[in-house]
């Protein structure tokens, strides 16, 4: 069993970025906060699947070149190899969950040129 509280974890960049509540042994689970007009560069994962669930705001997911305007309640699943960019085109923060599996120490993110 593993129990934790979000308040016991920090965002990677102070008030934004990913905040992982669990990293391994089978998967990662985190919450991400994107500030207004912030962009996460295009990348892919060669082995890991990645799932997102939008809690607040309206992020723009560009997946293999196709734009998806998300809203609270939307769930997005990515298979390994799908290139994705996530951005917040709005004036309000965006918050979504992140699940990646299988767990890979250090991850398997590969940055991709647009």
Model confidence pLDDT, tens digit, residues 37-75: 999 999 999 999 999 999 999 999 999 999 999 999 999
Domain assignment present for 112 = no
* Count of domains for the chain: 1
Residue 106 lies in a domain: no
Of all helices (H) and strands (E), which one includes residue 9? none
- Which range marks the domain in which residue 57 is found? 6-101
Instruction: Indicate whether 56 belongs to any domain.
Output: yes
Scan for tokens 């962009």, then name that residue.
39
Q: Does 111 fall in a domain?
A: no
pTM flag (> 0.75): yes
Query: 81: part of which helix (H) or strand (E)?
Result: none
Query: Any idea what the CATH number is for the domain that residue 97 is in?
Result: 2.60.120.10
pLDDT of res. 114 = 76
């Amino acid at each position: 069993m593993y129990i934790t509280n979000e308040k016991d974890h920090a965002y990677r960049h102070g008030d934004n970025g990913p905040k992982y509540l669990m990293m391994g042994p089978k998967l990662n689970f985190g919450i991400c906060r994107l500030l207004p007009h912030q962009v996460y560069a295009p990348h892919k994962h060669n082995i890991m699947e990645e799932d997102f669930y939008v809690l607040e705001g309206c992020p723009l997911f560009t997946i293999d070149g196709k734009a998806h305007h998300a809203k609270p309640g939307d769930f997005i699943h990515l298979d390994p190899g799908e290139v994705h960019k996530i951005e917040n085109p709005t004036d309000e923060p965006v918050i979504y969950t992140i699940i990646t599996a299988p767990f890979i120490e250090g991850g398997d993110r590969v940055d991709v040129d647009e």
